[in-house]
A and B are shown apart, each in its own frame.
Chain A
Amino acid sequence: MSEIKPTDTAATNAGEEKDWAASKYFSDSLKTKKPRPPKPQNAVTIAVSSRTLFNMVEERKIYEEEGVEKYMAHMNQQKRENEPLMPGVAFPLVKALMTVNSRLRQLYPDSEELFDIVLMTNNHAQVGVRLINSINHYDLTIERFCMTGGQSPIGYLKAYMTNLYLSKDGEKVTEAIKEGIAAATMFTSGDVENQLSDTQLKVAFDGDAVLFSDESEIIVKQCGLDMFFEHEQEFENIPLKQGPLKCFLEALGKLQRKFYAKNERMTCPIRTYLVTARSAASSGARVLKTLRSWGLEIDEALFLAGAPKGPLLQKIRPHIFFDDQMFHIEGAKELGTIAAHVPYGIGQKYHKGELIEQTVKDVKDKK
C-alpha cells in the first residue's frame, strides 16, 4: 500500500527512533492504557485550531475588543480553568475521525494508518491548561498540540506533517494553501451535531478549485458558460490539474480501501461526496475521468447543473463540506451544513459572479 506521506530519509534517523521508542514506555505506563498516537509520517494528520474545536466566541470578543492582556486575564482565572469549553464547529468532525480510528484499530491493531488530530493554536501556552482540561472532559483523542504564543502556525503545520488544516482565520488558511497545505476556513453553524451520523464520517467536496485546479473556473468567469461547456467536452479526456484538497481525498480513499480489503465496504465508516455545480451531461464526464486517472474513487458524485447546493447538503449532512466560493458556503450554512471555505483560485476575486473591485490592502486594525 503506497504511503500517505512522502518518505523522508531524515525522518528515519536514529534520534527519532529513540524518541519513538521512549514514548512507548511513557504511554504504556499510563494507567488509562490509551492507544498510542501514530507516527506522523504514517498518519493522516488533521490540525485544528482552538476556535474550531471549541466555541470561543465570547472569549474572542474580549480579545478583539479589549486586547490580549485582558483576554489572558479572563482565560486564566482559576475558576475558569476547569470549566470545559463548549464544542465548536469542528467538534463533530473530530468525533467522527475518532470513530473511524476505533474501527481501523479493530481491523488493523498494529497499523499506524490512522487519523492523527493535532491542536494547532496561536494561543498563548497559558491557555493550554484550560484547552487540555476541555479535551479531557470530552475524552477527545488529541495527543499532540502546538501553542505558538502568537506566532504564525504555518511553519509548524509543515513540521507536524499536516494533511489538512482547519481554522477560523481566513488569512492563516490562505497562507497555508499558498504553502501547499490543504486548508479551509470554518464558519460557525447552528446546532447540527445531533443530526449528524455518529457511525460514519461524511466529507463533501466541491469540484473545481477544491479537488481540481481552477483552470475551468477561469474559463467560466472570463468566457462564460457556453465556452466552458465546449471546452470541457473538447478536453474531456485530458485530466484536470489537481486542486488543494485532492491529496486529502486521496488520504481518505486509502483509509477506505483498508475497510474494503476486510470486506467492510457496506459498513465503511467513511463516505465521500462530490457536490458540483457542473452538469452531468455537458461537463461531468471530464471530472469523473480525471478522478479515475488519479486512481481516486468518490462514493457519490452529485451534479447540480447550477442548482443551489444547500438543500442537497442538508440531506447529506456531512461533517464538513469544502467549497471555494463564499456564495456556496453561505448557502450551505443557511440550511445548517458545516461549511469550510477553501480560499483558492479565481473564485476569490468574484462574488456571486461579479468581479470584486480590487481594494488596496489596508493596515489591519488588529494584529
Chain B
Amino acid sequence: MDSMVRNPDVKQRDAAQAVVVAVSSDAIFDPEVEQVHGATEPLRKGDAFSFMKAIQVVNERLLTMNSDETLLFDVILLSNDSEEKHSRIIASAKHYGLDIGRFCFCNKEDSIESLQSNKVKLFLSTDTKDVCKALQKGVPAALLFRQTDPHHQTEDQLKVVFSGDVIGSSEEMLHGLREQGFTETQLQGFKTAKGSVKEFAVLMGEMRRRFGLEGSPLCTGLMTVWSSRDVCASALKTLRGWGLLVDEAFCMAGAPRSPILNLVQPHILCLDGLYHMEGFTAMS
C-alpha cells in the first residue's frame, strides 16, 4: 500500500513516455539529520543532489529544443519515512526547487511493489544491497554513485556509466561461471539484470541522440572492470545495437576501478549485477 502525492509545483510528465526514475528520499535528503518533533526547517541535502540538478539541466535542454518533448526525466521520490516526516519532505523539495513529479510514501517491505506498479524505468539508491534486491526482483535499478570529491562534481551534465562485464561476455563465458561456483539462481539473476539494463540503456541512447557529440548535457560511458578488451569491444557493440553510443569507455582488465570512477564521477552507475551479488565473495 502506498500513498502517491503529486507535486503541485512541478509540471506533471506523461509517465508512459517519460523516463520515470524513482529515487530514495534518503539519497535526496540527508537521513542522518536528527528527527526533532515538529521541526520545520528544510532537510539537509543528500548524496543525490547534484544528480537532481543535472537531471533538471537535461530536461531543460530537451524542452528548449522541443517544447512538446515527452522523453524527459520524471522523478518519483520514494520514501519509507514515518508519516510525521512527509510534509517536511514535500516542503524541503519545494524549498530547493527540485524537479520531483511525485512523492511515493510506503513501507520498506512494499517498496519493490510500488516500484513495479508505477512502472519505474529505473530505481536509484546509494545502497548497493537495495539495488541488488531490486535487480533480483526484475526492477531496473542502478547505484547513485557517491560523489566524494566536490571538485569533480558536475551539476550541469548528467553522467551515466554502464558496467559492461556481463553485457559483453558471451553466453559461453557466463556459462563457464558455473564452474567458478556461481549457482543457477545467481546466473539467472545476471540474465535478469542484463535485461533491465537493456531497457534503461535504450532510453538513454534515445535521449543521448537528441544532442550532438559535443556540449551534450547527458554524457554516457562504459566500464569493464575484470574482462579483456574483446569483452569491452563486445559490450560497446551490444550497447550500440540497443541504440546507445557511449561517449567514454574504460577497460580496466583488473586494474583498480575507484581512481577512474572518482575521476569520472558518474551520477548513475548501472551495475550489470555481477559485482555485488553475494555469491561473489566465494571468489575472493
Report whether B226 and A26 are in contact in the complex, using a CB–CB cutoff of 8 Å.
yes
Contacting residues, chain A, for B4 (C-beta < 8 A): none
- CB atoms of B251 and A144 under 8 A apart: yes
Q: Of residues 42 to 85 in A, which have CB atoms within 8 Å of B's CB atoms? A: 68-69, 72
**Complex contacts, B251 vs chain A, CB 8 Å:** 143-146
A16 vs B260: C-alpha distance in the bound complex, in angstroms? 12
Known: A23-B226, A125-B247, A149-B248. A156 touches B260 (CB 8 A): yes
Q: How far in angstroms is the closest Cβ of chain A from B211? A: 12
* B 227-240 to A, binary, CB cutoff 8 A, 1 in contact else 0: 11111110011001
B13 contacts A by Cβ under 8 Å: no
Chain B residues within an 8 Å CB radius of A145: 229, 232, 249-251
Contact of A40 among B180, B230, B249, B256 (CB under 8 A): B256
Contact B173 A125 (CB under 8 A): no
Q: Would A15 and B258 count as touching, CB distance under 8 A?
A: yes
A190 within 8 Å of B (CB atoms)? no
Interface footprint category on A: 35 or more
Contact residues, B171-218 vs A (CB, 8 A):
173, 176-177, 180, 212-214
Q: Which of A36, A68, A126, A158 contacts B214 (CB 8 A)?
A: A68
Could you tell me the distance between the alpha carbons of A147 and B240 in the complex, rounded to whole angstroms?
16
Alpha-carbon distance between A24 and B212 when the two chains are bound, in angstroms: 39
Given A19-B257, A145-B251, A26 contacting B228 (CB threshold 8 A): yes
In the docked arrangement, what's the CA distance between A346 and B238, Å?
50
CB of A25 within 8 A of CB of B247, answer no
Chain A residues in 8 Å Cβ range of B169: 26
| B122 interface residue (CB < 8 Å to A) | no
A128 located at the interface, meaning its Cβ lies under 8 Å from any Cβ of chain B in the complex? yes
Within 8 A of B (CB), among A4-26: 10-11, 14-26
Name the residue in B228, B252, B254 with the highest tally of chain A Cβ atoms < 10 Å from its Cβ. Answer: B254
Residues of A within 8 A of B252 (CB): 19, 23, 144
Contact status A144-B246, CB under 8 Å:
no
B255 touches A136 (CB 8 A): no
Q: Interface with B: A27-35, A166-174, A314-322, A336-344, which one?
A: A27-35
Is A132 among interface residues, defined by CB-CB distance under 8 A?
yes
- Among A22, A69, A151, the one with the most B-chain Cβ atoms within 10 Å of its Cβ is A22
Question: Which residue in B177, B233, B237, B253 is a CB contact (below 8 Å) of A144?
Answer: B253
Residues of B within 8 A of A17 (CB): 284
Listed in ascending order, the chain A residues whose CB lies under 8 Å from chain B are: 10-11, 14-27, 29-30, 34, 36-37, 39-40, 68-69, 72, 124-126, 128-129, 132-133, 135-136, 142-151, 155-156, 158-160, 367
Please list 29 pairs of residues, one from A and one from B, whose beta carbons are closer than 8 Å in the complex, sorted by A's number.
A16-B256, A18-B280, A19-B252, A19-B254, A22-B225, A22-B284, A23-B225, A23-B253, A24-B254, A26-B231, A36-B254, A37-B254, A72-B213, A125-B236, A126-B236, A126-B240, A126-B245, A143-B228, A143-B251, A144-B251, A144-B252, A145-B250, A147-B248, A147-B249, A149-B246, A149-B247, A150-B213, A150-B247, A155-B263
